[in-house]
Amino acid sequence: MRRKLAAGNWKMNGLRAALAEAEAITAAAAADGPEVLLCPPATLLAPMAAQAEGTALQIGGQYCHPAPSGAHTGHVSAPMLRDAGASYVIVGHSERRQDDGERDADVRAQTLAAWQAGLTAIVCVGETEAERDAANTLAIIGGQLAGSIPDTATGANLVVAYEPVWAIGTGRVPSVDQIGEVHDFIRARLEQRFGEGVGRSVRLLYGGSVKPGNAAEIFAVSNVDGALVGGASLTAADFTGIIAALG
C-alpha cells in the first residue's frame, strides 16, 4: 500500500525566522501517518534538517545538478543535498523548465544523480494552458514521463508530481475529473513501462493551488497519493490543514 505524502515546496521563500513555521509543521508529522516533507531554499536546508533530526519530518532540495561536483558556480549537487540532511529532491518543476530552460533530458540526468546520491526524486510533469486548450495534455504528459524518468525507477526512488502549469500559484484548480484523467493516465503509463509491481508502487502527487479548503476533494480522486504544495506550505496553519485532509 502506498504511503500518502504531503510535500511542501517553499520555492524562493524563507529566511531563518521561517524555521519556526517548519518546527510547528513538525508536530503534524507522525511515523504512523502521511509522510510529511518540506523542501526549503538551499540556505535553509541544513538548519531545517538539523531542527527536524529525530522527528518524522523529511527534508528535501528543490533542484540538483547532474554532476556530483565540479566547476558549476551557483549550483548544488545531489551529494551536497544529501550531506546537508536531505532525503528527497524535486526535479523538473515547471518553473525550472520555463525559467531555466530545463528539458526532459536534463530532468532525467538530475534524477539519475539524485538516485546515485541516495535521494528520492520527485519528478514533475504538467501541461501549459495552451497545451490544455489544444487538447494535448495527455500527449505532453506522456512525452515528459518517457523523457524524464530513467529506466531504473522503483517505488522507493521515484515520486511523480502532476502540476498543470496554468494552476500553479493562480488559484485555478482543474476539475476532479481532469485531475483523475491525468493521474489514471500516469499510473497506466508507469505500469506499462515498469510492470504492475513498480508501476503501482510509485506515488503520484497533485500540485497546483492546493489549499486546506480543497485538499480533501482532491485527495479523494483516483490515484492521487498526496500533494506537492507551494504557497500553502509556507505556514503551519495552512499546511497542517492539508496534512490532516490527507490523513
Active site residues: 93, 163
From CA 46, how far away is CA 40, in angstroms rounded? 10
If phi > 0 it is left, if psi is from -120 to 50 it is alpha, else beta; for residue 158 that is beta
**Is-contact 31 56, C-beta < 8 A?**
yes
Q: In degrees rounded to 5, what are phi and psi of residue 144?
A: -65, -40
Name every residue whose Cβ is closer than 8 Å to that of residue 134 and which is 6 or more positions away in sequence: none
**Is-contact 34 6, C-beta < 8 A?**
yes
Cell of 208: 497546483
**Is-contact 124 207, C-beta < 8 A?**
yes
**Nearest-CA neighbor of 227 among 191, 179, 192, 188?**
179
Residue 94: Cβ within 10 Å count: 21
The DSSP bridge pattern shows strands 35-39 and 120-125 to be unpaired
From CA 123, how far away is CA 106, in angstroms rounded? 11
